[in-house]
């Protein structure tokens, strides 16, 4: 397929690369041009604006930080909403708010443009090695048309609803589960350290109980304090938990755990951890227990 790809950060670069490897024609745009140049050497067409990236494309994928970044790229000057041609579908893979996903569906719909939400699970190494889990929602025919793109970036695609925002609810719920695991690791590791038990040994026990690659990977990262460089920055993790709480408010679902994690992430920001990996949430918990890292 002929596609545009906008946002070549930690996640977007690997995703765009796998689309190229699968034989799709990819026009790329990134605010800082140097990240696009690496992909240009691998066969992507480098463009100078979001508008240019989606010109003549059957689909345009955005993988940007947050709601304001997506708003800028879609509705700003030279944005894709004013450039998408008939039959072009906008696929939003960023982790954005449920409310903003609804706005995107409404505004694109008003212009007779198609819109799908397809956020992803997996860190940059999974994006690079085509191991992402794609969670898609929207109109069935549009999803089927875009399936070759989802197959190119991930190991499995789940279709979770006919309304795009439903995929965003799933993504946010999933991130709350991961953040809760990080909080639990932080609390348990702090207890092990104070009890004089080797926390790596504790992790071996946990891995035997859960047998989960996610527990194994994050457990190792937390146990070894591998927080820098970040694969997923704590400030983006805080953005996500805030979005979880917004959705919880709208859906009238009390989420005391999400509220607690939000406060711990804010404490992380206050202690200079914004650009560290979000698993450094465990450092906040350790600090609360009087432990230095």
Q: Among 131, 171, 235, 239, which one carries the catalytic annotation? A: 171
Q: Which long-range contacts (CB under 8 A, 24 or more apart) does 132-136 make?
A: 132/15, 133/157, 133/158, 134/93, 134/158, 135/160, 135/167, 135/170, 135/171, 135/174, 136/160, 136/167
Which residue in the set 3, 4, 5, 8 belongs to the binding site for ligand NAP (CB under 6 A)? Answer: 8
* 231 φ, ψ (degrees, to nearest 5): -90, -35
Indicate whether 262 belongs to the interface with ligand NAP (CB under 6 A): no
> Strand, helix or coil at 198?
coil
Residue 131 annotated to the active site: no
Which one, 47 or 199, has the nearer CB to ligand NAP? 47
Indicate whether 95 belongs to the interface with ligand NAP (CB under 6 A): yes
Q: Which residue's Cβ has the minimum distance to ligand NAP?
A: 9
Residues 6+ apart with CB under 8 A from 203: 219, 220, 223
Which residue in the set 4, 7, 138, 268 belongs to the binding site for ligand NAP (CB under 6 A)? Answer: 7
Say if residues 255 and 245 touch (Cβ distance below 8 Å): yes
Instruction: Draw the binding track, 96-125, toward ligand NAP (x: CB under 6 A; -: no contact).
Output: ------------------------x--xx-
Indicate whether 9 belongs to the interface with ligand NAP (CB under 6 A): yes
Indicate whether 63 belongs to the interface with ligand NAP (CB under 6 A): yes
Number of residues that bind ligand NAP (CB under 6 A): 26
Beta strands in 129-180 (DSSP E): 132-137, 154-161
Indicate whether 32 belongs to the interface with ligand NAP (CB under 6 A): yes
- Closest distance to ligand NAP from the beta carbon of 278 (Å): 8
Residues 6+ apart with CB under 8 A from 43: 20, 26
The neighbour count for residue 161, using CB atoms within 10 Å, is 15
Determine the interface stretch with ligand NAP among 25-33, 160-168, 189-197, 216-224 (rule: CB under 6 A): 25-33
Indicate whether 174 belongs to the interface with ligand NAP (CB under 6 A): no
Which one, 154 or 186, has the nearer CB to ligand NAP? 154
Indicate whether 79 belongs to the interface with ligand NAP (CB under 6 A): no
Please state, in angstroms and rounded to a whole number, the distance separating the CA atoms of residues 63 and 91.
9
Active site residues: 171
Q: Applying CB under 6 A, which residues contact ligand NAP?
A: 7-12, 30-32, 35, 63-66, 69, 72-73, 94-95, 120, 123-124, 231-232, 236, 240
């Amino acid at each position: 397929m002929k596609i545009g790809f906008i946002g070549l950060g930690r996640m977007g670069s690997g995703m765009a690369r796998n689309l190229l490897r699968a034989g799709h024609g990819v026009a790329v745009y990134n605010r800082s041009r140097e990240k696009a140049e690496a992909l240009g050497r691998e066969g992507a067409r480098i463009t100078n604006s979001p508008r240019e990236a989606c010109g003549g494309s059957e689909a345009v994928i955005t993988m940007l930080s947050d709601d304001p970044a997506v708003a800028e790229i879609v509705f700003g000057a030279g944005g894709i909403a004013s450039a998408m041609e008939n039959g072009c579908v906008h696929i939003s893979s960023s982790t954005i708010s449920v409310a903003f996903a609804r706005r995107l569906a409404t505004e694109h719909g008003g212009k007779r443009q198609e819109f799908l939400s397809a956020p992803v699970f997996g860190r940059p190494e999974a994006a690079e090695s085509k191991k992402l889990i794609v969670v898609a929602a929207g109109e069935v025919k549009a999803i089927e048309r875009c399936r070759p793109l989802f197959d190119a970036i991930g190991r499995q695609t789940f279709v979770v609803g006919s309304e795009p925002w439903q995929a965003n609810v799933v993504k946010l719920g999933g991130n709350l589960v991961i953040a809760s695991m990080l909080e639990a690791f932080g609390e348990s590791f702090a207890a092990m350290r104070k009890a004089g038990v080797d926390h790596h040994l504790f992790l071996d026990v946990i891995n035997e109980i859960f047998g989960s690659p996610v527990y194994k990977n994050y457990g190792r990262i937390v146990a070894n304090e591998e927080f820098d460089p970040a694969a997923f920055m704590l400030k983006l993790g805080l953005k996500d938990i805030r979005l979880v709480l917004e959705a919880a408010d709208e859906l009238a679902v009390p989420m005391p755990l999400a509220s607690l994690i939000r406060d711990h992430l804010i404490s992380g920001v206050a202690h200079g951890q914004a650009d560290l990996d979000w698993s450094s949430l465990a450092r906040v918990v350790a600090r609360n227990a009087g432990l230095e890292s």
